[in-house]
Amino acid sequence: MTPDPAYLFMSRGHADTYAHLEYALKEDRGFVVVTGEVGSGKTSLINLLIGGVGAHFTVGVLNPDIAQPERFMAMVCRQFGLDLTGVDTAGMPEAFRDFLIRQRSAGSRVILIVDEAQGLTDTIIEEIRMLANLKTERHYLVQIILVGQPELKQRLQQNRVTEFVQRGTVCCHLSGLEKDEVAPYIRHRLEHAGGSNGLDIFDHEAIGSIYQYSRGIPRVTNIISDAALVYGYADELKIIGKKVIEEVVKDRDMGGVSIGGMRQGNEAPLPAQAGGESGAIDTDIRRDIEKKMHSLEKTLYRINQELNTRNSARKGRDEVGLELTEILKRLEDRQTLLLEDIRSLLH
């Protein structure tokens, strides 16, 4: 669920966006705007770019979500290791400009990447505009790349930086996967996860259903496919079909993760099976146990997704730890009840 360039699948949209980024660096375009839906792969592309720029670039990455506007320049300077001792707020732009000139003189170009830029305030956008205007007679002193959700373009168009953006920027939008790219995308990720044989484990209808619900967004595709693998494992399936995808989407509701359906400690265990032939009883017992194990597998998956969701929301580690402890305690109770039920069934 985290942006990992090793898993990046170069769809047609990703390849086109990356080509724009390479062009901007090669041609020394001072300002680049990359937009895309949440989970479309923007950060993975940026990470790939950072890994391939070479030693002649000095790169800084900012996520200004938690920054106060008046501290933005301080964040920029510290990102590049500048010593701000004795430098007040008014002197920071000059200190950063001196750093850029030194870097250019040493043959190194500076790239400032601002992630999640759709939330920038007008004050910070103005500061970025001023930075992007720093140049020699022939070259920009800093390459600025703004990365954000689609509303980022609207923010720039509404701001007085519009004229500057239209004059000197490279803009590109990262769309989701096309329908014919979903199957190779899933196969690509399975291969990079260590799979080698039998990678076509999602049938044609399942792939179509995944595309329908994910709208081609890679991260949503990951969520649905990962859950489908858990469900398929619990049901001992060899191939994931459309029915499993429908069940996943129904259970997940794709809008949040909840841990429901757990039995409370004061509930009585399931009654022991009675009557019928021994073979029929064994079959009923096995089916009941499998159903409970399936439910437990789903519970484990929901816990994993809950942690991912909460970590993505940047909740404090202590808060997440407390919630995890409570979740695991409920899971432990669930396992104890399951064992009691199995003993009752076996007797």
**Residue 32 gets which letter from DSSP?**
E
CA dist., res. 267 & res. 21, Å (int): 60
Mean pLDDT, the chain, rounded, equals 77
pLDDT at 274: 38
Long-range contacts of 186-195 (CB under 8 A, 24+ apart): 186/210, 186/221, 186/225, 188/7, 188/9, 189/7, 189/9, 189/222, 189/225, 192/6, 192/7, 193/7
- Residue 179's pLDDT band, with cuts at 50, 70 and 90, is very high
Question: What beta strand segments (E) does the chain contain?
Answer: 31-36, 57-62, 109-114, 142-148, 169-174
Output DSSP code: residue 53: S
Contact 135, 141 (CB under 8 A): yes
Helix, strand, coil percentages (3-state) for the chain, rounded to 5, are: 60, 10, 30
**Of 96-100, 244-248, 290-294, minimum mean pLDDT range:** 290-294
Compute the CA torsion angle 81, 87, 89, 92 (nearest 10 deg).
-50
Q: What is the pLDDT of residues 191-220, one digit of tens each?
A: 988 887 778 899 999 999 999 999 999 999
Q: Tokens in use for 288?
A: 């009941």
Predicted local distance difference test score (pLDDT) of residue 319 = 60
Q: What is the mean pLDDT of residues 254-275?
A: 34
Closest CA to 22 of 148, 170, 174, 129: 170
Mean pLDDT of 224-236: 91
pLDDT of residue 168 exceeding 80, the answer is no
| Residue scoring higher pLDDT (91 or 315) | 91
pLDDT in tens, 63-98: 766 556 678 888 899 889 998 888 888 889 889 999
DSSP per-residue string spanning 105-128: HTT-EEEEEESSGGG--HHHHHHH
pLDDT of residue 212: 92
Q: Specify the DSSP class assigned to residue 268.
A: P
Average pLDDT over residues 327-339: 65
Q: Which residue has better confidence, 344 or 143?
A: 143
What percent of the chain shows pLDDT beyond 90?
Answer: 25
The pLDDT assigned to 335 comes to 65
